[in-house]
Chains A and B, each alone.
Chain A
């Protein structure tokens, strides 16, 4: 039994970037090719479960470093198979599927854009718009902490609801703009009340500079109210359809 870690699938003619460092004891990363596709593989530590911070970071850094050079179908962490099955079970039987997916994504990279409210600015807006909230805030302030518990929960609940209402309008506007810039957009539901958008965008490599400039403009236009973060270029994590492949086995 020789377990092999699989980072992703690439075209067979891929040349791996130098300096890749994987999560195994050796850290080596190499290609195993079969037909027109290849798996990006490495070894794994056998004396402990996978899932440390370093494991996660190593997976991401290998996948995204390869994505900087070529199209890669990223595996979800952690992907481990028996070495003998690599060609016979993963690459061989699924060659057509992988080729199609690679062709769809060829010449494209993912960026992730996250937008979050400047908390104080937007909270101030919320309070200024709602006299009921201001009255509640006033009461909470005058009561001792123990006595104000339920009022504080209520206040927070109303504030969160007001933020969500604002988000709806702001996010719609932002997505409209982002959709013009991207080949495809995947929207993720916000996980915190002050989150406005969390969007994965598929961008043609040729348009990367234009896109980055456009995001910067967006950041400038919303400065003081929404703060943006841009991650990328990344592998197309959000654009490999895992549902579509279930017939592959």
Chain B
């Protein structure tokens, strides 16, 4: 986890870098090109070619019960007291908790962003509202690995 996030193209190593030109992640690309930029039909209504387009809402909902539960879970995994005391008697338990904890942490974070992407790319407009909840987690991985 630490290794992955501190990988840097530049040399310093504290900031994760990605340049333009297709090297960014799909979530970043979506934010850039769907939300921003000149809108062509402002200029040219007449000649717009009638093609079907999958519109995508790149925004991610901030506060929901799911979000709260995710943070409750993350909070519960913290072991406040083990930090300073050296954890005599508890090491195994603590170890187990931090391992599953850090895994949950990254997937939780990634999921928020990638879920929207998966949804955007796999669902037709009529399914869009229901898609995020039902979507199996596996698809998230497929999107990431491509």
Binding site for B on A (CB under 8 A): 1, 3, 6, 8-9, 44, 49-53, 56-61, 63-65, 67-68, 73-82, 84-85, 89-90, 93-94, 112, 116, 119-120, 123-124, 126-128, 133-134, 137, 140-141, 152-157, 159-160, 163, 190-194, 212-213, 215-216, 218-220, 223, 227-235, 237-238, 240, 242, 245-246, 248-249
Q: What is the CA–CA distance of A145 and B51 in the complex, to the nearest angstrom?
A: 50
Nearest opposing residue in chain A for B33, CB measure: A77
Q: Which one of A53, A82, A154, A249 has the highest number of Cβ atoms from chain B below 10 Å of its Cβ?
A: A53
Alpha-carbon distance A240/B146, docked complex (angstroms)? 31
Given contacts A82-B49, A191-B62, A215-B15, contact A234 B121 (CB under 8 A): no
Is the C-beta of B86 less than 8 angstroms from some C-beta in chain A?
Answer: no
Q: Across the interface, do B75 and A159 meet the contact criterion of CB distance under 8 Å?
A: yes
Contact count A vs B, C-beta below 8 Å: 251
Known: A51-B121, A128-B80. A78 touches B16 (CB 8 A): no
Of A81, A124, A228, the contact of B80 (CB 8 Å cutoff) = A124
Cβ 8 A contact of B109, one of A116, A140, A163, A218: A116
B128 at interface, CB cutoff 8 A: no
Our pick among B48, B60, B75 for the contact of A192 (Cβ within 8 Å) is B60
The reply to whether B42 and A60 contact each other, CB–CB distance below 8 Å, is: no
Q: A74-B37, A75-B37, A155-B72 are in contact. Are A119 and B42 (CB under 8 A)?
A: no
Would A240 and B38 count as touching, CB distance under 8 A? yes
Q: How distant is the Cα of A190 from the Cα of B10 in the complex, in angstroms?
A: 26
- In whole angstroms, what is the CA distance A112 to B33 when docked? 13
